[in-house]
Amino acid sequence: MSLVTIILGAGKGTRMKSNIPKVLHKANGIPMISKIINQVKTLLPNKNIIVTGHGKEMVQDILKDDDSLIFVEQKEQLGTGHAVIEALKNLEDYNVDIIVLCGDIPLIRSQTLESLYSLHKTSDASITILTSIQDNPTGYGRIVKENNNVVAIIEEKEANAETKKIKEVNAGVYCFNGQNLKKSLEKINNNNEKKEYYLTDVVGIQVNENKLVKSFILEDKEEMLGVNSKIDLAVVSKILRERKNYDLMENGVIFIDPNNAYIEENVEIGIDTVIYPGVILEGNTKIGNNCKIIGNTRIIDSQILDEVSIESSVIEESLVENFVTIGPFAHLRAKSHLKEKVHIGNFVETKKSILEKGVKVGHLTYLGDSHVDENTNIGAGTITCNYDGKNKYETKIGKNVFIGSSTMLVAPVTIGDNAITGAGSVITKDVSENSLAVERSKQIILNNWRKLKK
């Protein structure tokens, strides 16, 4: 039987106190709904339906590149049962299994969903409910069983003293027989305080019809934690970071202190790379093997190859090749490309620049819109003057060039191979290869000037 997944993401999340739809808030670097979509994809569903409502345009914009998703709008917030009714309008055939889950439970694991679905199929249940054993079940819907089968879900406010002793609670993830679900949804009503249609009512309807309802108990009860506030968001993000760091260590990464490194969900790191405390790796960053990333370094959406050493630096949307050393206190801005054995030192900033193999830029330098060829040495205080207030211009520096300290290179300008610029020069014209370029005002010394002034 084929599988359809439905992710409920229509709620506003008023307790979040935010203009952003709740499911788009990031848990360890990615929107919660994206995390959940990634988990359900391991089930290979035939259809993956996203129910939107508040901020639907924002949700669809974030997920627009995923062609596997079907978006359904729940125009009125009339409860979880109503949301599923709207989603089912996209099915022509109800002879399917249907997994329903909320878009605000980013801790759910793909293995859990696979196990839930496996039990549903092997038990031939009409409904299989994900549950958890809680030491303090207050506030959760209790799972009432007879002969190990579920016979009711009783909410806290409706539970008597005996029912409140039950520790197995509803985790809010369900697997349904599609045909039975469709028939049951036609029978639910909104005769309740909130005038909403509840998906949990389907359980009572099917139990009364002698349908088999099973539960699958979570091994890790943290997985059912939902996000209803920014405090909850911080809690689940911390758990996801811990999972990420331990998974990386299992796969060969070395952490000096795994509790003090912030590695987002999509980051990849190779074996024997050492991560020091205070490191922040964000977005789609990829780090190679045998690298050393030292404290207060932040890397965003960048690729770092093998044997690279980075200390206390910021790298954004850049490519760093093998055996490069960076920092401390360097800043690689977008579209920087450092090739093999480049050295970038203290307080060096690059932007939209290519540094070829062996280039050395020791300190106090800005290279913007530049191409620096192999084995060139850039002296301290060098600046490429790439912007005239209206347009950006390129600086080209050849091979084996020595740029003297405090050289101003006024773009567009080209420095030929093996050329040298004198310290303190302002270079406004091209310098041919093997040449020395010096541009300085005549030095004037007025002897005894201070005594004469008095």
Residue 13's region, left for phi above 0, alpha for psi from -120 to 50, else beta, is left
- DSSP, collapsed to helix, strand or coil, labels residue 117 as helix
Return the CA Rg of the chain. Answer: 31
- DSSP, collapsed to helix, strand or coil, labels residue 309 as strand
435 φ, ψ to 5°? -105, 160
Spatial distance between the Cα atoms of 255 and 25, rounded to a whole number of angstroms: 27
Give the active site residue among 25, 54, 337, 363: 363
Using a CB cutoff of 8 Å and minimum separation of 24, what contacts does 153-156 make? 153/129, 153/200, 153/203, 153/204, 155/200
Spatial distance between the Cα atoms of 32 and 108, rounded to a whole number of angstroms: 11
CB atoms within 10 A of CB 247: 11
84 φ, ψ to 5°? -70, -35
331 as an active site residue: the answer is no
Evaluate the CA torsion angle 241, 246, 249, 254 in order and state its sign. Answer: positive
**Within 13 A of 22's CA, how many CA atoms are on the CB side?**
26
For 44-103, the DSSP string reads --SEEEEEEBTBHHHHHHHTTT-TTEEEEE--S---HHHHHHHHHTT-S---SEEEEEET
CB atoms within 10 A of CB 158: 11
CB atoms within 10 A of CB 317: 18
For 270-291, the DSSP string reads -TT-EE-TT-EEETT-EE-SS-
Residues annotated as catalytic (active site), given as ranges: 363
